[in-house]
Amino acid sequence: MGKDNHENTMKYDVRAEEEANEARQILQSVYDALQEKGYNPINQLVGYLLSGDPAYITSHNNARSIIRQLERDDLLEELVKVYLKELEKR
């Protein structure tokens, strides 16, 4: 090895972090709204993410509009990142 980590330039992408936070907030809001209305949030979110049909998301608490604020691929990317980070912890 020999090289000190302090010699390497660290890269931080503020925009990516902001998008990740937005995706988390959107998913949490939609999850909560689905749960409040008695739906299985996981099943409904999977249905939406696979099909793109917003009918899988309740309009309760404006969840249907909220989830459409980000592209489905951005939401999926955040879900995969968080899942894989959890696997690394094990």
pLDDT in tens, 39-67: 999 999 999 999 999 999 999 999 999 99
pTM for this entry: 0.78
Contact present, 36 and 90 (Cβ < 8 Å): no
What rounded mean pLDDT belongs to the chain? 89
pLDDT of residue 1: 46
**If phi over 0 gives left and psi between -120 and 50 gives alpha, with beta otherwise, what is residue 11?**
beta
Tell me the average pLDDT across 22-27.
94
Residue at 10: amino acid letter = M
For the chain, give every domain's residue range.
13-89
Q: Is the dihedral of CA 62, 76, 74, 86 positive or negative?
A: positive
